[in-house]
Amino acid sequence: MASYSIPKLRSHLFYILMVVAGAIVLAAMFAVHAMEEHGHIITGMNNQIVWGMPHVFAIFLIVAASGVLNVSSIGSVFNKPAYKVRAPLAGLLSIAMLAGGLTVLMLDLGRPDRIIVAATNFNPTSVFAWNIVLYSGMFAAVAVYLWTLMEQRMNPWSKPAGFAVFIWRFVLTTGTGVIFSFLVARQAYGTAILPPMFIVISFAWGLAVFHVVQAAIYEWNGLHLDEYVQKRMRNLMGVFVIASLYFVATYHLTNLYFARQTEFERFILSEGGIYPQLFWIGYVLLGNVLPLILIYLPALDRYKRIPLASLLVIVGGFCLLYVFIIGGQAFPLDIFPGYSVSSSFADGEIGSYHPSLPEILLGLGGVGVAFLITAIGTRVLDFVPRELPKK
Amino acid sequence: MSDIDFQRRNFLKTAAGAALVTVAPGMLLFDVAHGKQIEAGKVRWGMLIDTAACKPGCNDCVTACNKENGLSGGTAATDSQWIRKIEIKDISSGREVSLPMMCQHCEHPPCVDVCPTGASFKRADGIVLVDKHRCIGCRYCMMACPYKARSFVHEPLHDQNPDVPRGKGTVESCTLCVHRIDQGGQPACAEACANKVILFGDLNDPNSEIAQKVKAVVSTQIRADLKLNPGVRYQGL
Amino acid sequence: MPKLDIGKGGECVKDTQWMRKNHMHMLKHQRDETVHKGNREGSSLKDCIECHASIKDDSVIAREDSFCVACHKYEAVKLDCFECHSGLRKSAWLKRDAK
């Protein structure tokens, strides 16, 4: 399949990608510098919408970082051989995306120069503080797990290591979900369904990212993905997409039942302008219905179905997070139930938010970091799956 | 006892000791983080706000707070507001009320629970503050506050009041004028109100004016259903 | 040694060499006492500034030879305090504020 010119192109392609990703990360660093210099006033965030685009990117990356390890878990914990060979790549992706997400979160802080303070002053009732432990522990756990997979002598340990990673990432994703669950006063949050919802959503997003990366690696290295593996992974993603849609539907349907939540749901699902649009068109249609059609329709088995469906799932994921994080803040706090309110501090008003360039650059920078780690990792070390011989 | 029993006993002692050493700091920190009162029966600062006397359109408390604490007085989405006047209207009856809203200085503050560094804390006398030295500007407390009491400083500040340090990248809110209270004074808003709407005092002192009034008149806490037990109470709601 | 405007000068806390070595620890301890426990006894940052702000411009940070800036610049240690704290003598700030 490979002709003489293709290896050169592949090599050039790698360097081109490095330059592009590097440029994006550099632009992000410039945005961070501007934010540190001038303050958050140059962003779209304000006292009503305190978490914006950077958090949308960061939470996607962190949730997907946890979910992508499903591929490894199915291999190591549930012993499916087709997944076992993919476990190292999934582990690398997990580390890469976690690094990218944390980069964005830490650089969006009002005082990023005080990370040391965060590391040395620990409030045990704060889920943010626990997440510092969980996220850094995750790096260590996945690193050890990768070692057990890639160092032949350590292979017998890959099952317990994989199990430890499996448990750790459930705790970590729960930790991500409860960030919002614990916000008792906000109508969008403060519910116990969020941790399991995030866990199941992580399965879908993680696998979607894995598909995209795997497809790119195979395409750019002239490899072919076996049809049997394609079908299994594709169907698995279908199951995850349906399951996560179920959780999102349950969250909204339950909310609709409570009279005190009705106005909020009306805002998110029908009257809130950009939020219902992103929810129905971005998340439900593009992020769920279209991918499910692509996955399950028994049309021609074309290779390109999976990456496209996966990309749509990812787009849908960003849309959902925008609605969840930003829409959830845009809806005003109900401080005086039964009263209509107005003040100089936007009480009773829908919060206004427009994503700004520094925020988007920062978010993309996180993706760039994840990309660089993955690309350099697969180039330098043995992460590309070594396919099993056909039976 | 046999050798093995001795070994087991030692092992259990060591394990229990190790577990205790691991858990103890967390338990101590738990108290610190929740601002638990080290001595019971101490001062608890609070305010009683008479909404019937509060005039719609009057902003004296806000102006006084801004002047005292060096706030710009601006009301853009990125401007800090430590106190604000809210006009509320009962949807069913149409009755209108005007009232000032500020940090409610809860007994069980959600902002203290969520702060990763312990910058948001409750002092022993009940005042909820932000230790700007520890604040990393994550804004989680702003997400958690049911009263939207907190503001984030979005731009570099200059010429701060030496009594009220505040800076870019940290979160801030009403301090109950802690710098004045510690010298025996009153919060600026309480002092400035011509209609004597805001009554400040020690809720735990049975002889104080506020404690006696709270006992005598009907007052409520805002979002009392959340069981945060704020130190700020409102009459006439 | 950097040229230093010591303001009113004199010694009210400890001797110069001790202060050079320990002022940061003293400030950190004092700040936790004040912020967390409300203990305003002992020297506050305002008190330090009261003496050490320049007689000319009432500031510890306005110029290259201001009390805090001169040594910190020489040692290349970033001054974080005055992001939040005022560098002005309080009496001077009150006069300016009253205008």
Please tell me which chains touch B, using 3 or more CB pairs under 8 Å as the contact test.
A, C
Question: Is B146 close to A47, i.e. CB distance below 8 A?
Answer: no
Q: Is the pLDDT of residue A153 over 80?
A: yes
Chain B residues in contact with C86 by the CB 8 A cut-off are 159-162, 165
For residue A39, which of A118, A116, A117, A108 has the smallest C-alpha distance?
A108
The residue to which tokens 């970033």 are assigned: C78
ipTM above 0.85? yes
Chain A nearest-CA residue for B85: A343
Q: What are phi and psi of A228, to 5 degrees?
A: -65, -45
Express as a percent the part of chain C with pLDDT over 70.
98
Average pLDDT over residues A100-127: 94
Chain B residues in contact with C58 by the CB 8 A cut-off are none
B38-235 belongs to CATH 3.40.50.150 = no
Chain C residues in contact with B132 by the CB 8 A cut-off are 84
**Token pair for residue A351?**
């919060």
Close Cβ partners of A80 (under 8 Å, ≥ 6 residues apart) = A74
B166-190: b or e for each residue (b if 16 or more CB lie within 10 Å)?
Answer: bbbbbbbbbbbbbbbbeeeebbbbb
Strand, coil or helix: A56: helix
Q: Is the pLDDT of residue A70 over 80?
A: yes
Average pLDDT over residues A295-322: 87
Chain B residues in contact with C96 by the CB 8 A cut-off are 159
Q: Is the pLDDT of residue C97 over 80?
A: no
Tell me the pLDDT tens digit for each residue of A177-200.
Answer: 999 999 999 999 999 999 999 999
Sign of CA dihedral B78, B82, B88, B91: positive
Domain boundaries, chain B: 1-34, 38-235
Reported confidence tier of residue A3, pLDDT bands at 50, 70, 90:
very low
Reported confidence tier of residue A227, pLDDT bands at 50, 70, 90:
confident
Q: Which pLDDT score is estimated for B39? A: 46
Q: Which pLDDT score is estimated for A372? A: 97
B42 touches chain C (CB under 8 A): no
Domain A13-335+367-378: give its CATH architecture. Up-down Bundle (1.20)
Q: Is the pLDDT of residue A236 over 70?
A: yes
- The CA-atom distances, in angstroms, between A264 and each of A45, A259, A285, B121 are 21, 10, 22, 31
Chain B nearest-CA residue for A127: B114
Domain boundaries, chain A: 13-335+367-378
Three-class SS of chain B: CCHHHHHHHHHHHHHHHHHHHHHHHHHHHHHHHHCCCCCCCCCCEEEEEEHHHCCCCCCHHHHHHHHHHCCCCCCCCCCCCCEEEEEEEECCCCCEEEEEEECCCECCCHHHHHCCCCCEEECCCCCEEECCCCCCCCCHHHHHCCCCCCEECCCCCCCCCCCCCCCCCCEECCCCCHHHHCCCCCCHHHHHCCCCCEEEEECCCCCCHHHHHHHHCCEECCCHHHCCCECEEEECC
Cα–chain center distance at A199? 11
**Token pair for residue A294?**
């692509």
Tell me the pLDDT tens digit for each residue of A323-347.
Answer: 999 999 999 999 999 999 999 999 9
For residue A113, which of C23, C25, C27, C78 has the smallest C-alpha distance?
C78
Residue B113 has its nearest CB partner, among A51, A126, A351, at A126
For residue A335, which of B94, B236, B222, B48 has the smallest C-alpha distance?
B222
Three-class SS of C13-34: CCCHHHHHHHHHHHHHHHHHHH
- The CA-atom distances, in angstroms, between B13 and each of A30, A291, B82, B112 are 55, 58, 53, 36
Q: Which pLDDT score is estimated for A391? A: 57
Contact criterion met (CB below 8 Å) for B65 and B227 = no
Q: Which of residues 133-152 of B touch A (CB under 8 A)?
A: 133-140, 142-148, 151-152
B227 touches chain A (CB under 8 A): no
Contacts across the A-B interface (CB distance below 8 Å): 183
Contact criterion met (CB below 8 Å) for A324 and A67 = no
Half-sphere exposure of residue A192, counting CA atoms within 13 Å on the CB side?
0
Question: Is B170 close to A338, i.e. CB distance below 8 A?
Answer: no
Tell me the pLDDT tens digit for each residue of A264-276.
Answer: 999 999 999 999 9
Q: Which pLDDT score is estimated for A2? A: 45
Contact criterion met (CB below 8 Å) for C40 and C82 = no
Average pLDDT over residues C55-70: 91
Q: Alpha-carbon distance A20 to A16, whole Å?
A: 6
Sign of CA dihedral A37, A43, A49, A51: negative
Q: Which pLDDT score is estimated for B34? A: 45
Q: ∠ CA A328-A330-A335 to the nearest 5 degrees?
A: 90
Question: Is B88 close to A114, i.e. CB distance below 8 A?
Answer: no
- The C-alpha of C83 sits at a distance from chain B's nearest C-alpha, in angstroms, of 5
Residue B123 has its nearest CB partner, among C38, C40, C49, at C38
Q: Where are the alpha helices (DSSP H) in A114-157?
A: 115-120, 127-150
How many residues appear in chain C? 99
Q: Which pLDDT score is estimated for C10? A: 72
- The CA-atom distances, in angstroms, between A273 and each of A92, A248, A266, A269, B30 are 39, 20, 11, 9, 43
Tell me the pLDDT tens digit for each residue of B8-19.
Answer: 777 777 777 666
Contact criterion met (CB below 8 Å) for B69 and B152 = no
Chain C nearest-CA residue for B156: C83
For residue B38, which of C36, A125, C30 has the smallest C-alpha distance?
C36
Range scoring the smallest mean pLDDT among A240-249, A380-389, B197-206, C68-77: A380-389
- Report which of residues A171 and A386 the model is more confident about: A171
Q: Is the pLDDT of residue B55 over 60?
A: yes
Q: Which pLDDT score is estimated for A229? A: 85
